[in-house]
Amino acid sequence: MDLSPGIQKMSVSQQQSGRGVPCLRCRGMCTGFEPHSWRKICKSCKCSQEDHSLSSDAEDDRKIGRLLSDSKYSTLTARVKGGDGVRIYKRNRMIITNPIVSRKDPTFDTITYEWAPPGLTQKLAIQYMELIPKDMQPVAGTEGASYRRRQLIRQLPIYDQDSSHCRGLAESERKLMEDFVKKYKSDALGVGEVALPGQGGSAKEEGKQHDKNAAASKPPISTNGALSDAPTGVEYCCENCKQVVPTDCPVVYVDRAGYNRQWHPGCFICYKCSEPLVDLIYFWKNGAVWCGRHYCESIRPRCAACDEVGLIPCCNSASPRKTGFLGPCAKRPVGPTPLLCSSISVYPGNSLLAASCLFVGFPSSHAGGGGVGQRCVHTCTPV
């Protein structure tokens, strides 16, 4: 798809709308978000974009809608009228109203969750929320809601899914990026499902019963949120902590793992960073659930300067390298904290990658088939 010049310039101007937003980490020491020209940080305090919580609900819903569109989870999105095919995330909110008895007229205490698992009864949804830490519950106006928004920015960067938000990509490079996104949507992207133990995927499996007699011999299993009894004599264990899951407590299922595995709500975390997976959006790899950020950088190296993933696959995707990496955006050592080498190694496709000092001694084949990655002989400089 050809992009107009205006769209191509979005990567330069996209941060301008957040100018002046206070930093949540500096707590008043920062004068407000001042966008760096190409790094994803504030020039004033050097904190990240998520620390400034730049996005809005509408922007988040558009981003997640774009991520889930053209995937088997597109049913969680809705088409925008007059939006030329743009889809937004049908984010499920939950409002709980509790009456407060007073001396005179009764009043009501209203709690709004900015996100809740879809398809559940309110009772089961409340149970789910009670099983995650209090400071991570996305109640409107609380630290939990701010945490969710920061995690949306951190775990699901817009430039990992939209080539128009990447800096300086040529037409051929945009096509590579779009192919990369298309592949992970097909092979890895997923959204967790909340149900009682033994009831995961029941709504989908009801239409796939090939043995009517076997189906008739089983007690009726309802869809998510129903409080029907799980099969007796069966123990269910959490995939993460390996502890037995009570049959009356909700768990998280992922269809890519099969419905014989389940996770405690508090145990549904990224394999790499151990952070809870925001809105239950996961990426499946090597038998584990990953957040979008760490899945993408396990496949493609992430630039330590502009934070965007490179177009050259990692030399060993099963064991992603932990070294610093600079993309074409920077030809000098740039933060955050590792020692980065000022040398530039030429990889296939003439991409410019600054090798870290840990590349010393690697053979040229480390760069990939037929690559010309060079031994570093330059002085590494602290940044």
Question: Is residue 350 situated within a structural domain?
Answer: yes
Question: Is residue 328 situated within a structural domain?
Answer: yes
pLDDT at 336 over 50: no
Domain that holds residue 311: 301-383
pLDDT at 209 over 70: no
Q: What is the pLDDT of residue 350?
A: 34
Which position has the higher pLDDT, 17 or 86?
A: 86
What's the mean pLDDT in 91-112? 82
Residues 105-157: pLDDT tens digits?
Answer: 777 789 999 999 999 999 999 999 999 999 999 999 999 999 999 999 999 99
How far is 118 from 49, CA to CA, in rounded Å?
28
Q: What is the pLDDT of residue 324?
A: 47
Which position has the higher pLDDT, 213 or 61?
A: 61
**DSSP string spanning 346-377?**
EETTTEEEBPBGGGTT--GGGGSTT-------
pLDDT at 340 over 70: no
Cβ–Cβ < 8 Å for 149, 53: yes
CB neighbourhood size of 32 (10 A): 14
What's the mean pLDDT in 353-378? 33
Lowest mean pLDDT among 45-54, 81-90, 194-203, 364-373: 364-373
Confidence of residue 205 (pLDDT cuts 50, 70, 90): very low
Confidence of residue 208 (pLDDT cuts 50, 70, 90): very low
pLDDT at 13 over 50: no
How far is 98 from 272, CA to CA, in rounded Å?
39
Which residues lie closer than 8 Å to 232 by C-beta, 6 or more apart? none
Quick one: tokens of 111? 């709690």
Question: Is residue 156 situated within a structural domain?
Answer: no
Question: Is residue 346 situated within a structural domain?
Answer: yes
pLDDT at 193 over 90: yes
Lowest mean pLDDT among 56-65, 85-94, 103-112, 217-226: 217-226
CB neighbourhood size of 229 (10 A): 12
Q: What are phi and psi of 293, to 5 degrees?
A: -60, -55
Q: Helix 143-155 crosses helix 57-68 at what angle (to 10 degrees)?
A: 40
Quick one: tokens of 6? 């205006």
Lowest mean pLDDT among 44-53, 123-132, 250-259: 44-53
Question: Is residue 383 situated within a structural domain?
Answer: yes
Confidence of residue 313 (pLDDT cuts 50, 70, 90): low
Q: What is the pLDDT of residue 165?
A: 85
pLDDT at 78 over 70: yes
Which position has the higher pLDDT, 130 or 21?
A: 130
pLDDT at 53 over 50: yes
Question: Is residue 321 situated within a structural domain?
Answer: yes
**Percentage above 70 pLDDT, the chain:** 65
Residues 153-190: pLDDT tens digits?
Answer: 999 999 999 988 887 778 888 899 999 999 999 999 99
Question: Is residue 14 situated within a structural domain?
Answer: no
Q: What is the pLDDT of residue 344?
A: 35
Question: Is residue 79 situated within a structural domain?
Answer: no
Cβ–Cβ < 8 Å for 227, 196: yes
Q: What is the pLDDT of residue 312?
A: 65
Write down the mean pLDDT value for the chain.
73
Residues 264-275: pLDDT tens digits?
Answer: 999 999 999 999
**Percentage above 90 pLDDT, the chain:** 43
State the burial class of residue 171 (Cβ atoms within 10 Å of its Cβ: 0-12, 13-18, 19+).
exposed
Q: What is the pLDDT of residue 17?
A: 53
Structural domains in the chain (count): 1
What's the mean pLDDT in 41-62? 78
